[in-house]
Chains A and B, each alone.
Chain A
Amino acid sequence: MIQLIAKRLGIMVLTMLVVSIILFLALELNIESVAIKVLGPYSSDEQRQFWLEANGYTRPVLERYLSWAGNFMMGDFGESVRFRVPVSDILWDRLSNTLILAAATFGIMIPLSILLGILSGMKEGSFLDRVISLICIITTSIPEFASAVFLSAIFVFSLKWLPGTSSMLMGFDVMQLILPAMVLIGYGFGYVARMTRASMAEVMATHYIRTAVLKGLPYHKVIFKHALRNALIAPFTIIMLQINWLLSGVIVVEYAFAYKGFGALLLEASLNNDVYLIEACTMVAVCAAVLTQLIADIGYSYLNPRIRFS
């Protein structure tokens, strides 16, 4: 296991290295473009030249990359063009906001979708299976921007139970978390539940489950001891992908509810050509992606001892 983790960590570092080189070349190879983004379109040639020299942009590309990567590893991401503060001052706050939203979503979505997936897959074709499948297909088919409007119309405008925006201006308010979490749960749970159902149905049709039932094991033992562990291998991949999605793919929901999270920050950085903020957000998103992949690999080997990554 230690060998596996070490190997995966090595691949993770390599992946991040490659991504960082691509990112750096894409955003900072053209130094004139960097100067314009930082100083704005009104800046004069003299101002840009002065800024480039003062910030070491006249050095060779390799030297600049090494310096940039070194600063990055030390937590110095540069200063945001739009916010006029160090990137790290904004990044971690926004990331923690998104983590709160992701945790709330994940904490409800995953148990709910696994439960419904198991119930559905246990007796394929039953009435319960059809009802659950229908609900899953409907919720997953509605895009987030549409469900945000529908849910706001119901809970904000009609019932007046929930706040319409989630800016958390007066501090953390759990009520402001409900609507964005509901939208995300609605969009994501059907997918995981359907995957769980398919996997469960496949396992339930195997010979060893039939044998377990025929030899007289209690049904709940068949499900929990024999079927579930094998049935979770396929959904596990999907669940791991949901973490990535919840960290950097929830831009629409954060925008619709004015939630000040990582997705909204990434969008704002991109729209405003905030070069250092884009770099930091991208590297964080990549880091989250490779970390979840590492966790998924470790999880696989636990769920299925036959899997060896040698």
Chain B
Amino acid sequence: MKKNNKHRYVKQLEGEVKSGQTSRREFLRKSVLLGMSIPVAYGLTGLSMSESVFADNAKKGGNFRVSMRVQEMSDPALFEWSYPSNVARHVIEPLVQMGNDGLARPKLLESWQASDDLKTWTLNLRQNVTWSNGDEFIADDVIFNINRWLDPKTGSSMQSQLISLTHEVDTGEKNDDGSTKMSRVAMPGAVKRIDKHTVQLTLNKADIAIPEALSSFTALIVNRNFTGDFSSNPVGTGAFELVNIEVGVSAILKRRADGLYWGGDALLDQITYVDLGDDTSVDLAAYVSDQIDYSYQVSADQVQAYETIPFIELLSAKSATTGIARMNVTQKPFDDVRVRRAVALAVDNERVLTIGYQDLGSIAENHHVSPIHPEYAPLPKLSRNIDKAKALLAQAGYPNGIDLVIDCSASPSWQTNTCLAIADQVRAAGINLRVNIMPGGSYWDVWNTTPFGLTEWNHRPLGVQVLNLAYRTGAPWNETGYANPEFDRLLDQALTILDAKERSKVVLKLEKILQDDAVMVQPFWLNSYSAVNKRVKNVVLHPSFEHDFNKVWIDA
């Protein structure tokens, strides 16, 4: 951001940080969101940057072998999991990238500017970016992508993250109940080309989370001539080229051969993603026999085992990653709030943390906003109440208890352990909970349709982002079927408040609504763990398990 374009609120923030009213960390987050460059923001606070940098002795070459599920990756806008995104991110890049410190950084953008009312965002594109097919990266590429995300026919979760660029229109059809069928589409003029390298977003309401939304793993920018199958035509702006992908087996990326990567050549010759299946103990064997250098994730129950291997460095990061045992409020018996409350009341989250995750995380409060989110608002501590749970079940028509089934993924193992711990807890209230353990791939086929299931949600920097994705009426990733106009209204309001303290006052109400409606049992927040061979340098664990290996090198 140019100095003379400094947002008025940044000037106010500078004053607040000097007087001690605002913390330096909070200043960093807000000022960067409003378009200030990261180095300048860090400079003003005196904090040190944690961004990975090239070392003087960095070596070029080598094949970096990473263990991760290799999934089908035809349309980046439809990614449902970060696995395909991690492969694709080395070929196609986002406009904004979330750093390991939780700050949004320009990637394909050079900078962005927000208007004083936060309703107009100007995106300034990098000017020296060339696609691997020789095209120049221009505003048309960005407009093509954003319009595609907003098109309901695409079905991308990005639409709900950029909801302030859309409005509802009459489709001319009727719903089953005879009401008018509405559809959400991009507002006319919401995405405008200013010039070849500038795009303007005009929102219908203020939204502070635009940069964060543009850093989502579904927000990778494809070429303006994208036809719907990235795997077969992997044109990108990134430092690597996708050479081969075999779903369920491997994906091979090689350093871009034309030498035209805008950020300078990557150091690695090749990145090889290898799919070793759902069983994470296989990773451990692969490390020991030097078949992999890095793995997507180390499960908590294997942390101690990894610590015993001398040539492995265990990486960890605090995160807002979590598992929610969510109930679909549109399906029986969970359409009765008394049943949901009974389930929630019967669970002692602290106990589940101990059994399910060996106390390696922190307790959560059944509302999906983390203490590390800037707008988190503390609520009174939850307490287990078996008598009340029984009474609620009796009122709901289950005086002799109820039989329920919860679906969960077999891997990572904490998910199974958590469900078993919940099943053990709720038994005292007369709830006979059967745990249906499904291998990873199959759970993701039912994650948004199963009546009761444990879903892992990745870290996101803002609490309102998660609430917007998962609990807003009709959002593509709203797996609970939750629909509450009051919740939506408050969420809209929260999304317009830049100041985290002020926003937390609204978020407190949102948290309370979710707790009262007992949409989920959310026992704990996870710490993120991974492991890397010590000969590999500059690998930093991202709280969302995002991969960017452009600056990674191997000390052979």
Contact = CB atoms under 8 A, between A and B. Distances in A.
Interface of A: 41-42, 82-85, 152, 156-157, 160, 162-165, 167, 169, 255-258, 260, 264, 267-268, 271-273
A272 B441 contact: yes
B442 A152 contact: no
Contacts of A267: 439
Contact of B285 (A82, A85, A156, A260): A156
B129 interface: no
B248 interface: yes
A255 B277 contact: yes
Contact of B288 (A42, A164, A256): A164
A83 B276 contact: no
B290 to A, nearest CB: 8
Nearest to B285: A164
A85 B249 CA distance: 14
B445 interface: yes
Contacts of A264: 277
B272 interface: yes
B354 interface: no
A164 B277 CA distance: 14
Nearest to A81: B72
Interface residues of B, number: 33
Contacts of B448: 41
B283 to A, nearest CB: 9
B276 A167 contact: yes
B289 A160 contact: yes
B285 A167 contact: no
7 contacts: A41-B448, A157-B285, A167-B249, A260-B248, A268-B248, A271-B438, A271-B442
The 10 A-B residue pairs with the shortest CB-CB distance in the complex, in nearest-first order: A164-B285, A258-B276, A271-B442, A163-B289, A164-B289, A83-B247, A165-B286, A271-B439, A272-B441, A271-B441
Nearest to B290: A163
Nearest to B308: A157
Contact of B249 (A163, A165, A260, A273): A260
B155 to A, nearest CB: 6
B145 interface: no
Given A42-B155, A268-B248, 16 more contacts: A41-B446, A82-B72, A82-B441, A83-B247, A85-B247, A156-B288, A160-B289, A163-B286, A164-B286, A165-B285, A167-B275, A167-B291, A169-B274, A256-B282, A271-B441, A272-B441
Contact of A165 (B289, B438, B439, B449): B289
A41 B450 CA distance: 11
A169 to B, nearest CB: 5
A162 B249 contact: no
A84 B288 CA distance: 33
Contacts of B248: 82-83, 260, 268
A168 B531 CA distance: 22
A256 B442 CA distance: 18
A13 B436 CA distance: 39
Nearest to B438: A271
Interface of B: 65, 72, 74, 155, 231, 246-250, 272, 274-277, 279, 282, 284-289, 291, 438-439, 441-442, 445-446, 448-449, 476
A156 B289 contact: yes
Contacts of A255: 277, 279
B277 A162 contact: no
Nearest to A83: B247
Contacts of A268: 248, 441
B347 to A, nearest CB: 28
Given A164-B285, A165-B282, A257-B282, A272 B442 contact: yes
Given A82-B248, A255-B277, A258-B282, A165 B291 contact: yes
Contacts of B449: 41
Given A82-B248, A83-B248, A84-B74, A41 B285 contact: no
Given A41-B449, A258-B282, A271-B441, A169 B272 contact: yes
A271 B287 CA distance: 27
B274 A157 contact: no
A162 B288 CA distance: 10
A286 to B, nearest CB: 23
A55 B485 CA distance: 41
B34 to A, nearest CB: 35
A84 B289 contact: no
Which of B72, B277, B284, B287 is packed against the most chain A CB atoms within 10 Å? Answer: B277
Given A42-B155, A165-B285, A256 B279 contact: yes
Nearest to B284: A164
Given A82-B247, A84-B72, A164-B291, A258 B439 contact: no
Contacts of B289: 156, 160, 162-165
A165 B283 CA distance: 8
B272 A41 contact: no
Contacts of A83: 72, 246-248
Nearest to B309: A157
B274 A167 contact: yes
Contacts of A84: 72, 74, 231, 247
B256 to A, nearest CB: 22
A160 B290 CA distance: 10
B282 A164 contact: yes
A256 B286 CA distance: 12
Contacts of A42: 155, 476
Contacts of B441: 82, 268, 271-272
A273 B72 contact: no
A258 B248 CA distance: 10
Which of A42, A162, A163, A258 is packed against the most chain B CB atoms within 10 Å? Answer: A258
Contacts of B288: 156-157, 160, 164
Contacts of B275: 167, 258
A81 to B, nearest CB: 9
B282 A273 contact: no
Contacts of B231: 84
A169 B250 contact: yes
Nearest to B273: A169
A307 B246 CA distance: 49
Nearest to B277: A258
Nearest to B286: A165
Nearest to B440: A271
A83 B232 CA distance: 13
Nearest to B152: A44
Contacts of B439: 267, 271
Nearest to A273: B445
Contacts of B476: 42
A85 B247 CA distance: 9
Contacts of A152: 285
Which of A162, A167, A272, A273 is packed against the most chain B CB atoms within 10 Å? Answer: A167
